[in-house]
Structure 1
């Protein structure tokens, strides 16, 4: 599959200053040429809504790396911004998304960002001759469904009946369809390139943890308020496959470059498909991965849910009813809903063999290193609280 790349590459990363995006920018800058001389990526364009936080988001870059970063302020819903961002790019990695599992955002806003933003990026990627389009999706496009049907070590061929309740999940599933349908679309010609069709593919990471995770920080703050005991929101038997943000970013960078190396064969060989992505983090529940990362800082974890699961489900249903009844007067966002409760308490695990076989992906960071890095960051946040 591997062939010589014609020149140092230019890559657009949307959401390039976000949790995953900023780490992906770093991983792309670190990639070396096949002969070990020089960098593989000459330019990373980081597109985000606000680039004023760039120095904080990318604080560990050296001056040489900063010289290869192009900050691009823009909204994925704005055609002018998207067109300018795609200009001259060899590949586009679309990480930007509006994530919401609580119902804080309107359905219209979620769809405009996650679906229409993806549609615009595909349009201008093709128009500008970008050869590879990698879309960051989520395991939540698979489920779990509202019945809480489990999956044990599933893969891309696993049959499942989703009934996606979150607008976020539905929007990502719809955006996936746009991306996969675009695979093989004719590209606008660019001088010096022989690839004439777009390679479009989808990565479905599991729950991503690591430095700068707002979800981890939220749960740590809740635990501090609970006398350093993590509140259990998921049963110990509800196992999932968390992935460290460094490995998620590395997988995106590796897949993008390997797809570019495959050239004109890529649309048929690796394009038009989705790939689950995880690493060697111990399979655990959402609550227990938080505990594994916080235990060395003196945190404990509750052994049981605050209420029996059935009562929590009824409580979530009651909260949703209250939100519905109050809607004519003001917007009430419940702290818990039934689908979130089901997601947190369903065994949902997947293998990542397809991405290994197709791209040679192996986690760059071991579980020990991932935990050490994450816990060190959490310790710093704890000291500043």
Structure 2
């Protein structure tokens, strides 16, 4: 039997952690938890293309080093990894627009990740936690209680090039002790994507009204961002205790109720004086209309520059109106992960943030 360190030894033999994408949505929460809740960490290196700001007002008792740069720049990355024991890789380009720059997505998400991996090997970094996304396995078909060993990677993921680039990044690992975490759709403080985008659509619509879309039985599973960050901490610890889990994927969820996505969004719309439409739009009719608009725009774009608002993005509608929910048993058993924040606490924190938008 392998002689692995004990759980107690993690707090004695503390390590230095590099967080890429530290200024981003997940990165901010991860830095907060490394500072306030993780006794196994002695120092933190914040790496991002944007200067780090403590937007969450967390404690700063542990040593922090700030490096601004691109994950594709091997010189800057090598400098950032000096003295680092573990990398938690959150940085990514996340565009799901129908006119997203596919080359840029693969350059950042795939080439950037590979550069980080190469630099980590050269710098003798022992542990690597890679933040992927559940979107890599979300295709045109619904998923009910999906698990790591039951969900296949679809040929046509709902979120297109973004999801493909994140899966291609996963395939780069194998030469270093790495854990891959796949959180579901995230919400919470600093969210620039999910809830914030829907609030933006509502505010740009007549009467501050977000159209509800009806696809018979639709359920979605979202995760509070603080719990996804906590899962990264647990993955780091388990990797130190048991390097044998290297190369495995782990689905990350929390106890936020699985529900109709429009029912989930309603309290946050109410918080900013917006509302849902009383009469839902039929899903398939809406999708056909949006796809026709997209075809027309694609045909005329070479001759006339045009950008459509995100409310006309069929990818976003398909994703929101397809049932995806998952089983986190593997993360519970192998990573000893349990959500740090309750659904009520997550909602209270989120309401404060979204109420200021």
Output the TM-score relative to the length of structure 2: 0.89
Cα RMSD after superposing both structures: 2.1
CA displacement at 1:297 relative to structure 2: 5.9
CA displacement at 1:98 relative to structure 2: 0.5
- Residue 338 of structure 2 is matched in structure 1 by 362
CA displacement at 1:217 relative to structure 2: 2.4
Q: Give 1:18's match in structure 2, choosing from 24, 27, 50.
A: 24
Q: Give 1:9's match in structure 2, choosing from 5, 12, 15.
A: 15
Structure 2 unaligned runs (5+)? Answer: none
**Alpha-carbon separation, structure 2, partners of 1:110 and 1:139:** 17
CA displacement at 1:138 relative to structure 2: 0.9
Note the 1:1-385 alignment, pairs <5 A. Answer: 3=6, 4-5=9-10, 7-33=13-39, 40-51=40-51, 54-55=52-53, 57-65=54-62, 68-145=63-140, 149-160=141-152, 162-165=154-157, 166-179=160-173, 182=174, 185=175, 198-215=176-193, 216-225=195-204, 226-233=206-213, 235=215, 237-260=217-240, 262=241, 265-266=242-243, 268=244, 270-295=245-270, 299-306=274-281, 308-334=282-308, 335=310, 336-381=312-357
**Alpha-carbon separation, structure 2, partners of 1:276 and 1:176:** 14
**Structure 1 residues 63 and 114, CA gap change in structure 2 (3 angstroms):** closer
**Alpha-carbon separation, structure 1, partners of 2:274 and 2:216:** 17
CA displacement at 1:272 relative to structure 2: 1.1
**Alpha-carbon separation, structure 2, partners of 1:159 and 1:9:** 34
CA displacement at 1:224 relative to structure 2: 3.7
Secondary structure in structure 2 of the residue aligned to 1:380 = coil
**Alpha-carbon separation, structure 1, partners of 2:271 and 2:291:** 36
Contact persistence 2:222–2:256 (CA under 8 A):
yes
Contact persistence 1:10–1:44 (CA under 8 A):
yes
**Alpha-carbon separation, structure 1, partners of 2:208 and 2:306:** 29
Structure 1 unaligned runs (5+)? Answer: 34-39, 186-197
**Structure 1 residues 236 and 76, CA gap change in structure 2 (3 angstroms):** farther
Q: How far does the alpha carbon of each residue in 1:261-282 deviate from its partner, in whole angstroms, 9 at most, with x for none? A: x1xx41x2x1111110010001
**Structure 1 residues 59 and 292, CA gap change in structure 2 (3 angstroms):** closer
Count of residue pairs brought into register by the alignment = 345
Contact persistence 2:29–2:56 (CA under 8 A):
no
Contact persistence 1:103–1:333 (CA under 8 A):
no
